[in-house]
Structure 1
Amino acid sequence: MLAWLMSCHVLAEDGAASTGLQPGDLDRLEAEAGEISRLHALVVAEDGDIIFERAFGGPGLDQPANIKSLSKTVLAALVGAAIEQGIVADVEQSIRELLGPRVPEGVDPRVSDITVGHLLSQQAGLERTSGQNYGAWVASPNWVEDALHRPFVDLPGGQMLYSTGSSHLLSAALTEASGESTLDLARRLLGEPLDITIPAWPRDPQGIYFGGNDMQLSPRALVQIGELYRNDGTSNGARILPEGWVETSWEPRGISRWTNDGYGYGWFITTLAGEQAYYGRGFGGQALYVIPGRKLTIVITADPMPPSPGGHFQHRLNRMVDTLLSGETGDE
């Protein structure tokens, strides 16, 4: 009987192993990643354990890297942590209420209808500050006022209008509501419980830390952000994000006009190799993937400097992850 039980245990372990990533899968991943000259680092964690990590260039694996607009995903986690701590009431709270005196005179009355959730899902309705409007926005003397004075091109809660200004309003709201800088709040609510280092990053002319761009995190630190979501907002048994936050964040509320992927609260939603996949992304090839069905968290960092490789580059990264999951050789 003992021998039979032991054999069943071995078979169970072998069966479990066969459903996970195999050495050949990781070899193909490394070979494909090595063909992408822009890549700096690639890390794969399976069920919380890092099983693959390579530095191809740049700062490396444990040094801060500019994650560009992947910052929006991290900022969304910080908003969730602030809600868990009672700093922000919920996603239905008005951004005007949170910003208080930072709201300038003469803004459109519809600003009062913009909620925290609208900003997280990029559905504020205000004209975008990204794309061709980005340069003028960051050159303005007050980024919060400039973003709020933009004309409405849709109603709050309407179409997805990807805008870094929307994320920056969240950073300003966190600063005003907490009485702490976004940096201090991030270190306290995310850095300490996840045991990750969060260095300072750029601020606007009023000293508000840039919401939605230019955060500095190492690839290994980003793994912990992904794992926080994979584990339903908990870390080492402690709840960091509100119960149900991850499910809510991964519910598509809009569609990206560039990838046709869904977008929730700081996360894009897609399907890779038949698996539901969630990812954040940043200019130049910064990416954080979570594939819950395979217990995987994948981090990619790359050269963030122009010229941009174009929108097709995100598709290439998606194909690389798809190839890893499917165990098949990619076409590039």
Structure 2
Amino acid sequence: MSLPRSTPAEQGVDATGITAFVDALAGTPEVELHSLMVLRHGHVVAEQWWRPYAPDRPHLLYSLSKSFASTALGFAVAEGLVDLDATVLSYFPRFDKKIKDPKSRSIRVRDVAAMASGHTGETIDEAFAAGRGDPLLGFLRLPPEHEPGSVFAYNQPCTHALSAIIQQVTGDTLTAFLRTRLFQPLGIERYGWSPDRQGRDLGFTGLFTTTEAVAKLGQLYLDEGRWQGRKLLPAEWVAEATRAHVATAGDDPDWRAGYGFQFWRNREGYRGDGAFGQLMVVLPEADAVVAITSQSHDIPAVMDALFDHLRPALTAGSGPAGAWPVGSPELPRPAGPGRAIPTMSYRPAPDHAVGSLRKIRTRPGRLSVDRLTAPLGEPGGWTGDGPHATAYAWDGDTLRIDLIFVETPHRLHLALDPAAGTFAARWQTEPLGRDPFDRLRMPQG
């Protein structure tokens, strides 16, 4: 079930503003778009994927996962399964005797939903350590510095607590709970959520799904919880989840506008926001949604370009007739001559290893990196229609290979020296977490 398509002009959008937005980001260092969808009046008026990324390929959302977790909370509250004013601890009586601090005991569901547990900073590492692998128990063992509900701190265990509560009261993971309530009604077919050691979906990160699924969630919120005329979420929840519950600080207009229930407020509208530029921007005044996946360090530049170029175009009235230029541009790749790939193994050059990577092997048509094997095709383009894609070229006597994990934002740059039998490796953006290379993809099963 796809979203309806239209031309920009038919929905009162000036397509030149969409092009200006894309062009502005193409010239912005540290920004690499992977996909873009622009919706107005419920219709997709522009969409593009940069090869080797593709429409049907799921993409790791990082903290944009939080907005899906918030949606699960909205369903649970509407069904009377969760009380926003109940304490987190009340859902886990087995932890009662282990939690002594009165502030920890008083943290409410609404506090963790708003990133207002009373802690003053990120506690995820401490929570895993204090809980001996159970971040929920560890989180409750960490006394907040302030009264819950009084201060904002972006803190991953807050969202994980929501995942744990929903699983506790329903017996289902976030994924299973959302399947019949959100994914199936919206026609979202490709998704998966990474779990913790207790079998709970992480909640704060780890959701893989498509760009169109992100756009659909944004449209559901824009339409105040209705989907194709059917009420799914209460309009009251949409309003509550997307208003500012706690003040946020900073100089940037899109980070100081306040925080809702796992949604950021913008200078206009609100958004779900994941590391490296996974964005769902909802603009109610323009009746529009913008969904982006990317590999970007400079998110303020993305938001500035959106409000400088794209936002004015959304309500400018009809621009040029016809569809916005639809194509499949290619991401940059190693450039240079192509020649045969040697069959050999490589060890790290001094000071050039990435994490635990200690061995790379090449042979015609294949690249092996640790336990991962990826296709290695002809030079001159990207090879791979699965979760990995490669491109290569020779730079003198150095074989340069780029390996993209196309279900994530990440790219690994390799420089192989066949004469020395060594390699150098570096991430363009380093993945968050410690997953081995073969697990940098949507969970299977």
**TM-score, normalisation: structure 1:** 0.83
Deviation at 1:238, TM superposition (A): 2.1
Deviation at 1:99, TM superposition (A): 3.2
* Contact preservation (8 Å) 2:87, 2:107: yes
Number of aligned pairs? 298
**Alignment counterpart, residue 283 of structure 1, candidates 275, 282, 288:** 275
Counting only pairs closer than 5 Å after superposition, residues 29-44 of structure 1 correspond to structure 2 as: 29-36=21-28, 37-44=31-38
Change (3 A) 1:204 1:19: closer
1:101 and 2:94 equivalent?
yes
The answer for unaligned runs of 5 or more in structure 2 is: 1-7, 315-445
Deviation per residue, 1:10-51 (Å, 9 max, x gap): xxxxxx969832121122123224335522111101111111
**Alignment counterpart, residue 325 of structure 1, candidates 303, 308, 311:** 311
Instruction: Name the structure 2 match of 1:79.
Output: 73
* Contact preservation (8 Å) 1:41, 1:57: no
- Matched AA of 1:318: M
1:252 and 2:237 equivalent?
no
SS of 2:269's equivalent in the other structure is: strand
**Alignment counterpart, residue 266 of structure 2, candidates 244, 265, 270:** 270
Deviation per residue, 1:144-193 (Å, 9 max, x gap): 11111112111111111110100000100000011112220021221112
Change (3 A) 1:135 1:152: closer
* Contact preservation (8 Å) 1:126, 1:148: no
SS of 1:40's equivalent in the other structure is: strand
Instruction: Name the structure 1 match of 2:322.
Output: none
**Alignment counterpart, residue 210 of structure 1, candidates 184, 188, 202:** 202
Instruction: Name the structure 2 match of 1:12.
Output: none
Change (3 A) 1:41 1:19: closer
Deviation at 1:227, TM superposition (A): 0.6
**Alignment counterpart, residue 92 of structure 1, candidates 85, 90, 103:** 85
Instruction: Name the structure 1 match of 2:106.
Output: 113
2-structure distance, mates of 1:283, 1:153: 26
Deviating more after overlay: 22-31 vs 288-297 = 22-31
2-structure distance, mates of 1:43, 1:109: 46
- Matched AA of 2:67: T
- Matched AA of 1:178: T
* Contact preservation (8 Å) 1:39, 1:57: no
The answer for unaligned runs of 5 or more in structure 1 is: 1-15
* Contact preservation (8 Å) 1:65, 1:216: yes
Deviation per residue, 1:236-284 (Å, 9 max, x gap): 222222231111122212233353221111111122xxxx321111111
Instruction: Name the structure 1 match of 2:56.
Output: 62
Change (3 A) 1:33 1:88: same
Instruction: Name the structure 1 match of 2:148.
Output: 156
SS of 2:180's equivalent in the other structure is: helix
The structure, 1 or 2, with the larger RCO (C-alpha pairs under 8 Å, 6+ apart) is 1
2-structure distance, mates of 1:78, 1:103: 25
Deviation at 1:64, TM superposition (A): 1.0
Structural RMSD (CA): 2.3
- Matched AA of 2:136: V
1-structure distance, mates of 2:115, 2:189: 27
Change (3 A) 1:237 1:157: same
Structure number with the higher helix fraction is 1
1:184 and 2:176 equivalent?
yes
2-structure distance, mates of 1:250, 1:119: 15
| Structure of higher CA gyration radius | 2
2-structure distance, mates of 1:201, 1:104: 31
Deviation at 1:61, TM superposition (A): 2.5
**Alignment counterpart, residue 125 of structure 1, candidates 106, 118, 122:** 118
Change (3 A) 1:100 1:38: farther
* Contact preservation (8 Å) 1:25, 1:327: yes
1-structure distance, mates of 2:213, 2:206: 15
